[in-house]
Amino acid sequence: MSELAFAGVVELARRVRAREVSAREVTDAFLARIDEHDGAIGSYLVVDHDGARARADQLDLEVAAGKDPGPLAGVPIGVKDVIVTEGLTTTAGSRILDGWVPPYDATAVARLRAAGAVILGKLNCDEFAMGSSNERSAWKPCTNPWDTSRVPGGSSGGSAAAVAAGLAAATLGTDTGGSIRQPAAFCGVVGLKPTYGRVSRWGAIAFASSLDQIGPMARSVGDAARVLEVIAGVDRRDSTSIDQPAPQLEPSLAAGVSGLRVGLPKEFFEGAALDGEVAAAVRAAADALAAAGATLKDVSLPHTKYALPAYYVVAPAEAASNLARYDGVRYGHRAPARELGDMYAQSRAQGFGPEVKRRIMIGTYALRAGYYDAYYKKAQQVRALIKRDFDQALEEVDVLLAPVAPTPAFGLGEKATPIDMYLADVFTLSCNLAGIPGLALPVGNASSGLPIGAQLLGRALDEATLVRAGAVIEAAFGTRRPPGPWGAP
């Protein structure tokens, strides 16, 4: 059973297509593991036992009839709860959407299904994807499969924990300021934040629309690449989706890094915030790239220190605007018309948790007449400088290598103030502000045993180079499997 759970996306699809195993056997193996282990982890908010089994049976009939269900044939996948799924409750981790059953699939989910995937259920996350630890979920905590006294990271904590614990072969997350890469690093899995516009945001519940991006989380670089190939590509329902075909990433997995220029941005390695073991592990990954033929170069991204203040103005401003639609009337709640006035006032107060309210207030303040120039406009100017830093650095080098987070996974309850929590994002935010792709992957373990992640950052639309370099790092450091009953062979 655990053999199937850790086999990975590419291998499971191969076996199902070759009729070595049925989609139903694979799905049942994952459902049984979820039933056994997720009580201790808390990665799922909804498990669709019946829907998953019915879909698996249907795929097995297709295979038996000689049809090829596609590149994700029979692969069980979990979906972050901020991504809508037809017929499957979707709450964005928030009480304000309690009980909402969307009438349609997000484009990314529709593409997964069309490629033969089996959707297992919806994954825990911080409310409206605002957070870095999954502790802001309105529903329940999610723990780190490596140490259940630690957070899995966030906001896509459930998506990372489920992959790490073998409770999904792959998952979808979203990354607005690090929410795919940071939980991937904390849980020892791979997370790929695509170029802004690479994957349609249709059906991704909006947090900050100019930053949000859906992407895959999986056990290996090859698995994440396979899922991205399926979900990427232009979608006329998202006007910001880029008019490019989905990338073909498989050839990049074996391309090697001979002659590749890898930049080490000095601002990411400076300062007391960076844990010594994290710094050493990322430098070891750089050495592995050099040993495989890459050249290393120190580069500078001088405006890095302004990414955090700029992000925490831009993201709340967009959130304040996006979240104005949740009046407690249209989604989730049903009430006679005469009660709607009261409900409006009440449910906005009761429906949003404290972090969401804080963001709405900060965002509304930043957009106010009289403050707009000082905050929002200034933040957008800083954003342009950050993007220019990346453009210039990525002329000198082909890809950048940096830490994902200053430390390995922190303890549940450890970050006492909002500012402490925001500081956990220092290294992930600039990637979203610049709109470029980022790939997080494991590069070792701390003395505590917790996994350490590194991120590769590349040019817009150049996920292929991230996969190239990521595959070489993975060959040197391997994939990870946590201790505990869910990780045991």
DSSP state of 296: E
Give the range of 36-44, 111-119, 130-138, 443-451 binding ligand GLN by CB under 6 A: 130-138
Separation of CA 71 from chain center: 21
CA distance 282 to 288: 10
Q: Does 366 bind ligand GLN (CB under 6 A)?
A: no
Of the candidate spans 83-91, 174-182, 389-397, 435-443, the one that interacts with ligand GLN by CB under 6 A turns out to be 174-182
Q: Is 132 one of the binding residues for ligand GLN (CB under 6 A)?
A: yes
Site for ligand GLN contains 129 (CB under 6 A):
yes
Structure tokens at 283: 């430098």
Both tokens assigned to 397: 């080098």
Q: How far is the CB of 322 from ligand GLN (least distance, A)?
A: 12
Phi, psi of 404 (to 5 degrees): -90, -45
Judged by CB under 6 A, the number of residues near ligand GLN is 14
Residue placing its CB nearer to ligand GLN in the complex, 262 or 421: 421
- Nearest Cα residue to 14 out of 34, 470, 233, 4: 4
179 binds ligand GLN (CB under 6 A): yes
The answer to whether 147 contacts ligand GLN (rule: CB under 6 A) is no
Q: At what angle do helices 463-477 and 276-291 cross, to 10 degrees?
A: 100
Total residues found in the chain within this entry:
489
Any bridge partners for residue 79, and if so which? 122, 172
Binding to ligand GLN by residue 137, rule CB under 6 A? no
User: Residue 421: CA atoms inside 13 Å, Cβ hemisphere, count?
Assistant: 23
Q: Which residues contact 369 (CB under 8 A, 6 or more apart)?
A: none
Identity of the residue, 175 or 235, whose beta carbon is nearer to ligand GLN in the bound complex: 175
Closest CA to 57 of 69, 40, 45: 69
> Does the protein bind ligand GLN through residue 267 (CB under 6 A)?
no
Q: Which of residues 413-472 bind ligand GLN (CB under 6 A)?
A: 425
Residue 142 near ligand GLN by CB under 6 A: no
Active site residue 448: no
Q: Does 130 sit near ligand GLN (CB under 6 A)?
A: yes
User: Interface with ligand GLN includes 178 (CB under 6 A)?
Assistant: yes
Of 7-15, 126-134, 157-165, 346-354, the segment contacting ligand GLN by CB under 6 A is 126-134
For residue 368, what are the CA distances in angstroms to 108, 322, 345, 358, 382?
A: 35, 16, 22, 16, 19
Strands (E), 24-73: 44-47
Q: d(Cα 231, Cα 358) in Å, to the nearest integer?
A: 33
Question: Quick one: which of 176, 200, 241, 455 contacts ligand GLN (CB under 6 A)?
Answer: 176
Stretch of 144-152, 169-177, 328-336, 469-477 contacting ligand GLN, by CB under 6 A: 169-177
Whole-number minimum distance, CB 176 to ligand GLN, in Å?
4
Which of residues 42, 177, 406, 442 is near ligand GLN by CB under 6 A? 177
Pick the piece of the chain touching ligand GLN (CB under 6 A) from 127-135, 139-147, 224-232, 403-411.
Answer: 127-135
3-state secondary structure of 396: helix
Site stretch for ligand GLN (CB under 6 A), options 72-80, 170-178, 410-418, 465-473? 170-178
Q: From CA 390, how far away is CA 385, in angstroms rounded?
A: 9
Restricting to residues 305-344, which ones interact with ligand GLN according to CB under 6 A? 315
Closest distance to ligand GLN from the beta carbon of 92 (Å): 11
Residue 440 Cβ vs ligand GLN, minimum distance, rounded to whole Å = 12
Within 8 A by CB and 6+ apart from 281, the residues are 443, 444, 446, 452, 454
C-beta nearest to ligand GLN: residue? 179
Which entry of 43, 137, 156, 179 is annotated as an active-site residue? 179
155 as an active site residue: the answer is: yes
What minimum distance in Å lies between the beta carbon of 370 and ligand GLN? 25
Q: Is residue 93 part of the contact set for ligand GLN (CB under 6 A)?
A: no
Q: Could you write out the DSSP letters of every residue in 201-219?
A: -TTBPPSSTTT--EEEEES
Pairing of strands 170-174, 399-403: unpaired
80 flagged as catalytic: yes
**Distance between CA atoms of residues 24 and 461, nearest Å:** 36
The residue ranges of DSSP E strands in 345-437, in sequence order, are 399-403
Q: Name the catalytic one among 80, 122, 193, 415.
A: 80
Tokens for 445? Answer: 């373990």
Nearer to ligand GLN, 178 or 487 (CB): 178
Active site residues: 80, 155, 179
Q: Which residues bind ligand GLN (CB under 6 A)?
A: 129-132, 155, 174-179, 207, 315, 425
